[in-house]
Homo-oligomer: A and B are copies of this chain.
Amino acid sequence: MEFNAVYRRENIVWNAIELINESGVHALSTKLIAKRLGISEGTLFKHFPRKNDLLLAVLDQFALYDEDMFYTTQNKMENPKEAILFYINSYIIYYESYPEIVSLIQVSDMFRGIPELEEKANHVFYKRYAFMKEMITKAQLSGQIRQDIGADILADIITSTKKGICTRWRFSKYSFSLREKVIEAVTMLLDAFKG
């Protein structure tokens, strides 16, 4: 059954993510995933011939909506400032629905030294960073953001702040509203640097 196979794959990926969330990457062994899923390791390898293939799928899941978000955000670009908030908000929705995904936020560090994974993770972050920078540049051109500051620096500030609050959210065991804090921070920043 094709449907079943797809479902099974997703299931494996999510369980892997949950394991990472609970115990960190170093605890993610094929044995553990299989046990948690109630399947044999053999079966696991039928679905993902190499452990790295599973980790690549984890990365795919992590960035699953990126292209969509870029696309739908682009459509709001006549108002770049609102676009930025819309974009940030999209991630928050994703993270609040699936908090385990937040444990992947430092995925570049997690996968450093494993070439194919490191490369893919870096790619994801480069694209996100580039997109943010592009939006900021547009906001500067449209006068919504001051033009005397580097778009790269502001992109650093906003993306890092988002990451930082997400991380603190996870450490605090989700004890505050991610949305409120992130939106407040980004709004503050956009206001502070408005054109």
Contacts and interface: CB of A to CB of B under 8 A. Distances in A.
Query: How many subunits of this chain does the assembly comprise?
Result: 4
A192 interface: yes
A113 interface: yes
Nearest to A153: B185
Interface of A: 22-27, 103, 106, 108-114, 118, 122, 129, 149-150, 153, 156-157, 159-161, 163-165, 167-168, 171, 181, 184-185, 188-189, 192-193
**Top 10 A-B pairs ranked by shortest CB distance?**
A160-B164, A24-B113, A24-B112, A192-B192, A23-B113, A160-B160, A106-B109, A27-B113, A106-B106, A157-B161
Given A24-B113, A24-B114, A160-B161, 10 more contacts: A26-B112, A156-B161, A156-B168, A156-B185, A157-B161, A157-B164, A159-B164, A160-B163, A163-B164, A192-B193
